[in-house]
Amino acid sequence: MSEPMRMSDPAGLVARAAALDAADELAPLRDLFALNEGSVYLDGNSLGALPRHVPERIRDVMTRQWGEMGIRSWTEGGWWTAPERIGDRIAPLVGAGPGQIVVGDSTSVNVFKAVVAAVRLADQDRTAGGDRTAGGDRTEVLVDATTFPTDGYIARSAARMTGRRIVPLAPAELPAALGPRTAAVLVNHVDFRTGRLHDLPGITAAAHEAGALAVWDLCHSAGALPVGLDAHGVDLAVGCTYKYLNGGPGSPAFLYVAERHQARFDSPLPGWNAHADPFAMADAFEAADGAVRGRVGTPDILSMLALDAALDVWTDVRMADVRAKSLALTDFFLECVEVYAPPGRVSSLTPAAHAERGSQIALRCARAPAVMDELIVRGVVGDLRRPDVLRFGFTPLYVGFADAERAARVLGEVLAGVPGQVPAGVPGQVPPGRR
Amino acid sequence: MSEPMRMSDPAGLVARAAALDAADELAPLRDLFALNEGSVYLDGNSLGALPRHVPERIRDVMTRQWGEMGIRSWTEGGWWTAPERIGDRIAPLVGAGPGQIVVGDSTSVNVFKAVVAAVRLADQDRTAGGDRTAGGDRTEVLVDATTFPTDGYIARSAARMTGRRIVPLAPAELPAALGPRTAAVLVNHVDFRTGRLHDLPGITAAAHEAGALAVWDLCHSAGALPVGLDAHGVDLAVGCTYKYLNGGPGSPAFLYVAERHQARFDSPLPGWNAHADPFAMADAFEAADGAVRGRVGTPDILSMLALDAALDVWTDVRMADVRAKSLALTDFFLECVEVYAPPGRVSSLTPAAHAERGSQIALRCARAPAVMDELIVRGVVGDLRRPDVLRFGFTPLYVGFADAERAARVLGEVLAGVPGQVPAGVPGQVPPGRR
């Protein structure tokens, strides 16, 4: 045997990538997506790739449903019930039974609904005597201090408007901080910057033990890993559909309201779509039953039905398989980075332990903006989180092991041409490839 | 001359319609829209017709901007700034200078932003000593009692969350009710049910005289008639883009914040898109300058760029011409109804006076649901407002005088086959065709 790869592939990474791709049962799904074959797309955690069949579906929505059927599509075309119907399609991907998710509005708007509703549910618990810490006022909303900023901004507004105060804390500090003053806690399932996966079951249980409600932001976990909303007793959750769910730029977000809370879910945005009988055009608001009361105004049908079409790629996909491939991809990428990157030039912010890792790798790097610009020029599309983080998202439906190898190899080449050492002084950083 | 129309057109309506269409300078615009030539579309006040070129534009957004350029489109494709750029395209249609309108979210969500912000502006005025009625607490939000319901529901929530109370009043009663307790007033420019046009200049001036802010809902006037937001000193406004602006089903709404209020506009939904430097991902919220602070989360690009494309039809269209044709169309339709409808069978809820009429005609009618069903079967597409209102929207860009004549004629035929008299007992109804 001549082993022709030896000279150019000293660690055997190219050959291993090929073997891993050949054994990957999810690999055929890649053909469902429109990808630039000349580049490696590692930004699906920001904007998921286009499923090839979506443009034709939207053409039909525009020309036939809108252009020919017109307003009849609100009823006959299923437009009116799209938010709950599509919510029920997302539900199995995040471990929720039917009737608990509605799609619509942005993540930010849904954070507002969820935090205000959680505080009001906590108030109702107290008033109803169901509070195990009777006498205490639930004046605080604990918020993941490492959150994607919009959650913090919106939670602060929700707290201001419900007479509460915000307490920002690192997720690891939350369980100890929960107490009789806590109304609700808002946490990101996966940290957008570092890719750290937080302990959804543990924090939710701790919140309940303290008599508080747990609100989860699933933007970086929905479609990337098993969430288990029902199994872990999550109270309320929000999530994005344009990352791992590939719904298209700015596709509508979703809101989960656990069935046990729906009858008392008191929305701060009780638009006519949340009314029990919207077309009665009644003066008095009477909330609809179920998760539908999380709706607000008229749904944005083009964006919503693009998402609907995009969800077709999940038929027959098991989230456990997605998770297994995601971990294998990120492990392999870290291993490749360790081989290819000049020593001391990058440092992974993403936990090495599988139980603490989402589906992205974040590398701290000197001159990160210049490095990311050059990576993109060379066909490796990740993104930058200022000031010094290179972020690479691994979306198991359309990213393979050869992509991971190539990305790491190009990163090594770019780093060899850009001087600098890894920035110092961030606690908790983990050397690449160690776990 | 043989006058062949005489026998079938005793009042000469068909001939007059043809002459009016021939003289109509806006008539060529009809070709820009996809219309079913077999029917008359009088529901553009609910869902505007499809401009023919929009599907091709959205195909490009999906396949090239999303599929090929991916995240680069957020910057290079202009996605990120679309809300304010498209807002500036709507601005001249509602009499606003640039930099005061952003597009995004639903009308309901924008009503929430506007009413909360108006109350907070009123508070700031009082605190700053600028209140001409110093000493009084501005505890009330006056709301158009005939409003489209969602405005009332949302205003009630906004009032609840800012410690105010709602006072529902007919628009005509508002000027007398304004006083030192009024923080803000929320009014619909055109009544969705009756088509009545309310006195925007007068009510706005009366609000200011009382030291209160005026918030206008332009859903049924934007694109239908001149609004004059700047000229009349409106403080805040919201509007819909899927009616007379033809943006497509559920296309995003818009928010107007008068320039003089922007520095103190304090949004209840301060999402990351409203931040002065969103990509700094800063913990602290610092509001952007200008109308941009009315933005919330990531814009729904497909729906938003469909609207962007749809606005192309307004190039070179003067709103004064749209208004003149709208009034001529509704006048002519009422005249035709008077000729064709059996006596006493329908009664117009829409004011006869031009100064009080929007761009629709609402007819009260016994057995209205059955009548509307039959109209639609016969190719006249209006809509029903329960229990007894037939609603016909006249969109001057693509509805002509022959359409109006045909709709009235078919209505007459349907009424001849459906027994009943006009329902009794609603004050203010105006006989058709009288003005």
**Nearest neighbour of A300 by CB, restricted to B41, B148, B303:** B303
Mean pLDDT check: name the lowest of A117-131, B303-317, B340-354, B377-391: A117-131
Do A62 and B54 count as a contact with CB atoms less than 8 A apart?
Answer: yes
> Of B279, B314, B349, which residue is a domain's last?
B314
Dihedral angle sign, alpha carbons of residues B294, B300, B306, B309 = positive
Domain-located, residue B409: yes
> Cβ of B272 under 8 Å from any chain A Cβ?
yes
Selected for mutation to probe chain B from A56, A63, A269, A377 (highest B CB count within 10 Å) is A269
- Contact residues on chain A for B153, CB-CB shorter than 8 A: 270-272, 275, 285
The answer to whether position B58 is within a domain reads no
- Taking an 8 Å cut-off on Cβ atoms, the answer to whether B34 and A306 are in contact is no
* Residue of B243, B295, B357, B364 marked catalytic: B243
CB contact under 8 A, B281 and A386: yes
Residue A429 pLDDT = 40
In CATH, what number is assigned to the domain containing residue B345?
Answer: 3.90.1150.10
Q: Are B342 and B304 in a shared domain?
A: no
- Provide the edge-to-edge strand list for the sheet that holds B383-385: B346-348, B360-365, B389-393, B383-385
pLDDT at B384 (0 to 100): 93
Which of B359, B53, B332 lies closest to B223 in space, CA to CA? B359
Does A433 map to a domain? no
What is the DSSP pairing of strand A346-348 with strand A254-257? unpaired
Q: Are residues A47 and A103 in the same domain?
A: no
Q: What is the pLDDT of residue B137?
A: 87
pLDDT of residue B298: 96
A135 band by pLDDT with thresholds 50, 70 and 90: very low
> Which B positions 7-26 lie with beta carbon below 8 A of chain A?
none
pLDDT at B314 over 90: yes
Q: Do A62 and B193 touch (CB under 8 A)?
A: no
| Residues B90 and B205 reside in one and the same domain | yes
Distance from the Cα of B64 to chain A's closest Cα (Å) equals: 10
A108–B105 C-beta distance less than 8 A:
no
* Among the listed residues B84, B49, B11, the one whose alpha carbon sits nearest the alpha carbon of residue B257: B84
Retrieve residue B115's tokens. Answer: 């009413």
User: Range of B238's domain?
Assistant: 80-314
Q: Give which of A63, A300, A386 to mutate to test B binding, by max B Cβ within 10 Å.
A: A300
- Are B267 and B328 within one domain? no
Cβ <8 Å between A66 and B47: yes
Inter-chain CB proximity A145 and B268 less than 8 Å? no
Give CA–CA dist A165/A182, Å, rounded. Answer: 10
Per-residue pLDDT reduced to its tens digit, B372-387: 999 999 999 999 998 9
How many CB atoms sit inside 10 A of residue B405's CB?
27
Q: pLDDT per residue over A367-379, tens digit each?
A: 999 999 999 999 9
- Same domain for A187 and A209, yes or no, is yes
Q: Average pLDDT in the B203-216 region?
A: 98
B150–A contact, CB cutoff 8 A: yes
Q: Is residue A281 part of a domain?
A: yes
Q: What is the CATH number of the domain that holds B186?
A: 3.40.640.10
Domain C-terminal end among A285, A314, A343: A314
3-state secondary structure B83-111: HHHHHHHHHHHHCCCCCCEEECCCHHHHH
Give A9's pLDDT tier (boundaries 50, 70, 90).
Answer: confident
- B255, burial (CB in 10 Å: exposed 0-12, middle 13-18, buried 19+): buried
Peptide bond into A387 cis (omega under 30): yes
Residue A329: exposure state from Cβ atoms within 10 A (0-12, 13-18, ≥19): buried
Catalytic residue numbers of A? 148, 217, 242-243, 391
Q: Is residue B305 part of a domain?
A: yes
ipTM score of the complex?
A: 0.93
Nearest to A114 by CA among A191, A192, A243, A219: A219
Nearest residue in chain A measured CA to CA from B54: A62
Closest by alpha carbon to B218, among B195, B190, B245? B190
Residues in CB range of A8: below 8 A, 6 or more apart = A14
The side-by-side arrangement of strands in the sheet containing A101-103 is: A101-103, A254-257, A236-239, A213-217, A182-188, A140-144, A165-169
Could A153 and B270 be called an inter-chain contact, meaning their C-beta atoms sit closer than 8 Å? yes
Mean pLDDT of chain B: 92
Q: Element (H or E) spanning B237, and its range?
A: strand B236-239
Assess contact for A337 and A414: CB atoms under 8 A.
no
% of residues, chain B, pLDDT over 70: 93
- Torsion angles phi and psi, residue A347, rounded to 5: -145, 130
Q: Which residue has the tokens 């088509």?
A: B195
CB A182 within 8 A of CB A213: no
Confidence grade of residue A127 (pLDDT, cut at 50, 70, 90)? low
Residue in A46, A61, A302 to test binding to B, most B beta-carbons within 10 Å: A302
Cα angle, residue B73 at apex, residues B60 and B290 outer, rounded to 5°: 115
CB contact under 8 A, A301 and B303: yes
Beta carbons within 10 angstroms of residue B228's beta carbon: 16
Other Cβ atoms within 10 Å of A353 Cβ, number: 11
Question: Confidence class of residue B99 from pLDDT cuts 50, 70 and 90?
Answer: very high
Our answer to whether residue B148 is catalytic in this structure is: yes
Q: In this structure, are A117 and A263 located in the same domain?
A: yes
Is A434 a member of any domain? no
In angstroms, the CA A148 to CA B91 distance is 33
**A33 → chain B, closest CA residue:** B67
User: Distance, in angstroms, between A297 CA and closest chain B CA?
Assistant: 5
Given a cut of 80, is residue A351 above it in pLDDT? yes
* Whether residue B108 sits in one domain with residue B240: yes
Pairing of β A254-257 and β A101-103: antiparallel
For residue B7, the distance in angstroms to the closest alpha carbon of chain A comes to 35
3-state secondary structure at position A238: strand
Q: Is the pLDDT of residue B353 over 50?
A: yes
Chain A contact for B133 (CB, 8 A cutoff):
no
Those residues with Cβ within 8 angstroms of residue A37's Cβ, 6 or more apart along the chain or in another chain = none
**Is the same domain home to A303 and A326?**
no
Counting beta carbons within 10 angstroms of the beta carbon of residue A129, is it exposed (0 to 12), middle (13 to 18) or buried (19 or more)? Answer: exposed
- Whether residue A248 and residue B54 make contact (CB cut-off 8 A), yes or no, is no
Q: Which chain B residue shows the shortest CA-CA distance from A280?
A: B386
| Per-residue pLDDT tens over the stretch A265-283 | 999 999 999 999 998 888 8
Q: With an 8 Å Cβ cutoff, are B106 and A271 in contact?
A: yes
What Cα–Cα distance (Å) separates residue A302 from each residue in A55, A177, A328, B108? Answer: 11, 43, 36, 18
B65: pLDDT confidence band, cut at 50, 70 and 90?
A: very high
Tell me if chain B has a CB within 8 Å of the CB of A50.
Answer: yes
Which of A278, A297, A314 is where one domain is finished?
Answer: A314
Token pair listed for B240: 């819909």
Answer whether residue A38 is part of any domain. Answer: yes
Q: Does residue B18 share a domain with residue B110?
A: no
Tell me which chain B residue has its CA closest to the CA of residue A69.
B36
Apex A113 CA angle, B164 and B74, nearest 5:
115
Q: E strands along A366-430, which residues?
A: 380-381, 383-385, 389-393
Residues 241-270 on A with a CB inside 8 Å of B are 242, 248-253, 267-270
DSSP B119-165: HHHHHHHHHTT--TTTT----EEEEETTS-HHHHHHHHHHHHHTT-E
Same domain flag for A172 and A241 = yes
Residue B160 bears catalytic tag: no
pLDDT band for position B127 (cuts 50, 70, 90): low
| B187/B111 Cα distance (integer angstroms) | 11
Mean pLDDT of B144-171: 95
| Residue among B148, B256, B265, B392 flagged as catalytic | B148
Above pLDDT 70, what percent of chain A? 93
Give B 325-384 residues with CB within 8 A of chain A.
Answer: 381, 383
Report CB contact under 8 Å: A109, B296: yes
Over 50: is that where the pLDDT of A418 sits? yes
* Interface mutation vs chain B, best among A35, A76, A150, most B CBs within 10 Å: A150
Task: Give phi and psi for B5, each to the nearest 5.
Answer: -80, -15
Residues A130, A272 share a domain: yes
Q: How confident is the model at residue B419, as a pLDDT?
A: 75
Residue B367 catalytic? no
Tell me whether residues A298 and B49 touch, CB distance under 8 A: no
User: For residue A124, what is the enclosing H or E element?
Assistant: helix A107-127
Residues 155-214 of chain A whose Cβ lies under 8 A from any Cβ of chain B: 156-157, 161-162, 168, 193
User: Average pLDDT in the A89-108 region?
Assistant: 98
- Domain assignment present for residue A65? The answer is no
Q: Which residue has the tokens 């053409």?
A: A59
Does residue B425 register a pLDDT over 70? no
Smallest Cβ–Cβ distance between B59 and the set A59, A271, A282 belongs to: A59
B127 and B259 part of one domain: yes
- Burial class of B403 by CB neighbour count within 10 A (0 to 12, 13 to 18, 19+): buried
SS3 state at A207: helix
Q: How many angstroms separate the CA atoms of B47 and B41, rounded? A: 10
**A104 Ramachandran zone, left/alpha/beta (phi>0; psi -120 to 50):** left
Spatial separation of the C-alpha atoms in residues A21 and B299, rounded to whole Å: 36
The token pair at B347 is: 């009664």
pLDDT of A424 reads 65
Taking CB atoms and an 8 Å limit, are B297 and A381 in contact across chains?
Answer: no
Lookup: tokens for B397: 């860009």
Task: Tell me which of B150, B169, B242, B285 to substitute to probe the interface with A (most A C-beta atoms closer than 10 Å).
Answer: B150
b or e along B304-343 (b: 16 or more beta carbons within 10 Å of the residue's beta carbon)?
bbbbbbbbebbeebebeebbbbbbbbbbbbbbbbbbbbee
Number of domains in chain A: 2
Question: Is it the case that residue A411 has pLDDT exceeding 50?
Answer: yes
pLDDT on residue B421: 74
How many Cβ pairs within 8 Å bridge chains A and B? 248
The per-residue pLDDT of chain A, averaged, comes to 92
Residue A3 has pLDDT above 50, yes or no: no
> Does B89 participate in catalysis according to the annotation?
no
- Res A124: pLDDT: 86
**Cα dihedral value A241, A247, A253, A258, nearest 10:** -60
Residues whose CB is less than 8 angstroms from the CB of residue A31 and which lie 6 or more positions away in sequence, other chains included:
none
d(CA A49, CA A36): 10
Eight-state DSSP code of residue B62 = I
Q: Which of A1-5, A68-72, A229-233 has the lowest mean pLDDT?
A: A1-5
Q: Is the peptide bond before B387 cis (omega within 30 degrees of 0)?
A: yes
Residues B213-266 have pLDDT tens digits of: 999 999 999 999 999 999 999 999 999 999 999 999 999 999 999 999 999 999
